[in-house]
C-alpha cells in the first residue's frame, strides 16, 4: 500500500488510491472510486463508487462525495460542504437512474458548509464562499457567495480577490504571483 490509511478507515476492494494519499479516521471509500496522488480525505469522509478525485485534492472533515461527482486536480472541499446527485430526491421513489453529473474543475475552492446542487460545473480556480448554495454553473475564477450564490468578484489562482469589476472589462496583476488577469466579455483569462 503506497498511501496512508488510518486503522478506522474502510477502503472497499477495487478502490484505486494514488500514492502519498492520506485516508483519515472513519473514512469510507467505495470499491469503484478512483482517487489520485497526494489526496487528503479528512475524518468522516464518504466517497461513492462512481467518483473520481484528481491529484492533490483536499476533502476536509464530514464531506460526502456521492456518485457522479468528479473533482479535477487540486480541488479544495471545505469542512461539511455538501454535494448532491439527485435534483428532486424522495425516500419512497427510486431515482438512482436520475443521478446528475457534477464537475469541479482544477484548483476550485468549495468553502465550509456550502452546498453544490447536482448537474453543474464549477470552473477552474473558482471560489465558493462558506455557506453558499450553488445551483448553476460557475465561471472560471468567479467568487460566489450567498443563497442562492451570486458572483461578487474574481479570484486569482493564488486565492486572493482581484481588483476587477464583476462585469465589464479590466486588467489587473496578482501581487503574489505576478500573473496578469484580463476580464473581457465576462471571461477572465490569465497570462504570465
DSSP per position, 112-179: TT-EE-SS-EEPTT-EEPTT-EE-S-B-TTEEEETTTTEEEEEB-TTS-B-S--SSS-EEEE-TTT--
The confidence score (pLDDT) of residue 47 equals 98
| Residues 72-91 pLDDT 10s | 999 999 999 999 999 999 99
pTM exceeds 0.85 for this model: yes
Query: Is the pLDDT assigned to residue 191 strictly greater than 90?
Result: no
Query: Is the pLDDT assigned to residue 98 strictly greater than 90?
Result: yes
Q: Which residues pair with 161 in a beta bridge?
A: 155
SS3 of 58, please? strand
Q: How far apart are CA 184 and CA 168, in angstroms?
A: 7
Q: CB 76: neighbour CB atoms within 10 A?
A: 21
Select the more confidently predicted residue: 7 or 191.
7
- Domains delineated in the chain: 4-163 (2.160.10.10)
| Residues 34-73 pLDDT 10s | 999 999 999 999 999 999 999 999 999 999 999 999 999 9
Contact 77, 70 (CB under 8 A): no
Amino acid at each position: 500500500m503506497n498511501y496512508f490509511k488510518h486503522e478506522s478507515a474502510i477502503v472497499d476492494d477495487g478502490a484505486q488510491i494514488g500514492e502519498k494519499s492520506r485516508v483519515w479516521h472513519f473514512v469510507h471509500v467505495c470499491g469503484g472510486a478512483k482517487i489520485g496522488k497526494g489526496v487528503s480525505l479528512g475524518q468522516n469522509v464518504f466517497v461513492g463508487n462512481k467518483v473520481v478525485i484528481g491529484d492533490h485534492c483536499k476533502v476536509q472533515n464530514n464531506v460526502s462525495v456521492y456518485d457522479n461527482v468528479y473533482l479535477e486536480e487540486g480541488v479544495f472541499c471545505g469542512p461539511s460542504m455538501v454535494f448532491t446527485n439527485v435534483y428532486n430526491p424522495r425516500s419512497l421513489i427510486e431515482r438512482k437512474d436520475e443521478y446528475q453529473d457534477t464537475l469541479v474543475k482544477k484548483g476550485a475552492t468549495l468553502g465550509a458548509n456550502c452546498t453544490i446542487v447536482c448537474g453543474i460545473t464549477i470552473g477552474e480556480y473558482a471560489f465558493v464562499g462558506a455557506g453558499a448554495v450553488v445551483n448553476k454553473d460557475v465561471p472560471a475564477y468567479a467568487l460566489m457567495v450567498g443563497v442562492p450564490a451570486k458572483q461578487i468578484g474574481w479570484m486569482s489562482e493564488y486565492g486572493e480577490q482581484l481588483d476587477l469589476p464583476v462585469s465589464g472589462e479590466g486588467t489587473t496583476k496578482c501581487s503574489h504571483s505576478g500573473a496578469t488577469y484580463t476580464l473581457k466579455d465576462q471571461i477572465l483569462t490569465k497570462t504570465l
